[in-house]
Amino acid sequence: MSNFSKQRFRLILAGVIGFGLLLVFWFQAGGSRRPRETAHSANGIARLPPTILWAWVRPEKLDFIDREKVGVAFLAKTIYLRGDQTISRPRLQPLATPLDAPVIAVARIEADRTKPANLSEQQLHDAAREISELGHLPNVVMVQVDFDATTSERSFYRSLLVKLRASLPASTLLSITALASWCEGDNWLDDLPIDEAVPMLFRMGVERNQFLSLLGAGERFKAKRCQESVGISTDEPIDKLPKARRVYVFNPESWSPAKVKQVMEANAK
């Protein structure tokens, strides 16, 4: 078998496995029923639980959580932009959630820095199609896009979000993760067709102390889309967590009942 054929075979196999695992998720999450109380509106997003756990690249068993207090945002797909290519990788890890619990499907976008993406109309179309598919998964009430877009990639990203909003089901909310700088002096988010932007208060590098001091003093981010949610990590504790309606929590290790209880107690302080 040639190298090209082998690569093509691996891509097809990954897609088949990913589809199978999504079916596993479907049945573990309670079948095809969709939560009744959802809407593409501020009222709809207000119904999300106050604590959201990110379930990333590992198997996660979260069927023990209280669905009224805790939600799950799971990495469902990773999209790589490379040259003129748009390469999609499905989730390959199983996920268990409570019966009929609403969930958030996350699409991570990676732009290749060694072979920069052309950011063409075709890539825009392909990426929007791949992400919009997540809005039709069972129990998904919101799609979240995770893309650390550079300044030169913002026009592409804006167009992608506009196209995505138009192609998602009307009842499906749209969220993005956001660099803290986007929410403050470099704000470019307020006119995006999104329901929320989640400022990432971890892995911030040299800007960490600056932003945490700002928020610790009771200030709010200037961007309105960034004022309702925050994103934190269990391995970078924050002494004074900013007030927010929702807290997204990343865990570099697998979630356990003890870890979830620790997060809930810390957020309650």
pLDDT digits (tens, 9 = 90+) for 234-260: 999 888 777 889 999 999 999 999 999
pLDDT digits (tens, 9 = 90+) for 100-142: 899 999 999 999 999 999 999 999 999 999 999 999 999 999 9
Residue 24 has pLDDT above 60, yes or no: no
Q: What ranges do the domains of the chain cover?
A: 3-268
Distance (Å, whole) CA 29 – CA 19: 15
Residue 46 has pLDDT above 50, yes or no: yes
SS3 content of the chain, % helix, strand, coil (to 5): 35, 25, 40
pLDDT at 196: 95
Distance (Å, whole) CA 202 – CA 193: 25
Backbone region of residue 30 per phi and psi (left: phi > 0; alpha: psi in -120 to 50; beta: other values):
left
Least confident of 25-39, 76-90, 118-132, 138-152: 25-39
pLDDT at 16: 41
Q: What is the mean pLDDT of the chain?
A: 85
Give the pLDDT band of residue 144 (cuts 50, 70, 90). Answer: very high
Residue 56 has pLDDT above 70, yes or no: yes
Count other Cβ atoms within 10 Å, centred on residue 229: 23
Fold annotation for 3-268? TIM Barrel (3.20.20)
CB 247 within 8 A of CB 52: yes
Model pTM? Answer: 0.85
Residue 18 has pLDDT above 70, yes or no: no
